[in-house]
Amino acid sequence: MNIQGDRKNMKYVFLFLLIFLLVGCANETLEPFNEIVMVPGMTIESNNKNGRVKITYVGPLKRKYEIDEEQRIIKLFPRTTRWYGSLGIYNSAESIALLTFKTRIVCEEGQQHFNSIEEAVKWLNMQRPFNWVYRNDGLVFGFFRSSDRKQINIELWQIYVGGKFLSQFQESDFHRMSAFSYDYEKIPAEIDSNPRIVFLGGKKTDFLPGATDDSIVVKMSEE
């Protein structure tokens, strides 16, 4: 009897069950407080030095991602706590054990609220792996590939500046460490260790240094 091998197999079974339970327990209803970017009929297409991506609104929690010659409809999950500024929607592709034959697509969509343009630019400069492209109105897109992990990360954000009232959803150090999310390694060490205080009711920006308005194309179709 191979006791060591049996224990190893049981460890994998336990890991699979844990992932299944975590995904199954994730909230599947978009709440009024969730902060998203896309609306029905919207398509967003952009490219950075890592390639070109097209995102299409399919439903409140579904997006179609087209990368190179591949397209995939992905269900995202709404955040119930604010995590690194985001109260949007995400899919952390935690089912890696079930997708060993496919590239994982880790995606996030949401809003980022800042007190000033300078604060927003500092945040953009810190997120180096994503090679952000963004417009003067604060629409931000980025993605990068991790070939060794068979993974693609895609993020879509809308920046707002100058909020007037305090959000009832503030993040904490506990939320940062305990949120069911992906890849903590993507968070650069120089990001402030203290959670950002979020004020809502701000406006889209009129100007962002380094912006290129033609780098992100937004189209609307009639439903």
Which residue ranges make up each domain of the chain? Answer: 30-220
More confident residue, 214 or 26: 214
CA torsion sign for 169, 111, 132, 101 is: positive
Q: Is 185 exposed, middle or buried (0-12, 13-18, 19+ CB in 10 A)?
A: exposed
- Per the document, the length of the chain is 223
Question: pLDDT value at position 172?
Answer: 74
Q: How far apart are CA 63 and CA 49, in angstroms?
A: 23
More confident residue, 28 or 162: 162
Question: pLDDT value at position 155?
Answer: 95
Reported as a single tens digit per residue, the pLDDT across 171-206 is 876 545 444 443 434 444 444 556 789 999 999 999
Question: pLDDT value at position 23?
Answer: 44
More confident residue, 98 or 82: 82
Question: pLDDT value at position 171?
Answer: 84
The residues near 55 (Cβ < 8 Å, ≥ 6 apart) are 38, 43, 44, 45, 63, 64, 65, 66, 154, 156
Reported as a single tens digit per residue, the pLDDT across 15-51 is 444 444 444 445 678 999 999 999 999 999 998 888 8
DSSP state of 109: E
Q: What percent of the chain has pLDDT over 70?
A: 73
* pTM for this model (two decimals): 0.79
- In this prediction, residues 96-123 reach a mean pLDDT of 84
Nearest one of 127, 134, 36 to 77, comparing CA atoms: 36
Least confident of 21-35, 111-125, 206-220: 21-35
Highest mean pLDDT among 8-12, 59-63, 94-98: 59-63
More confident residue, 45 or 103: 45
Question: pLDDT value at position 147?
Answer: 79
- Cite the beta strand spans of 41-119 per DSSP E: 42-48, 51-59, 62-67, 70-75, 77-78, 89-91, 104-114
Q: Which residue has the tokens 């299409």?
A: 56
Q: How far apart are CA 83 and CA 56, in angstroms?
A: 24
The residues near 6 (Cβ < 8 Å, ≥ 6 apart) are none
- In this prediction, residues 2-13 reach a mean pLDDT of 52
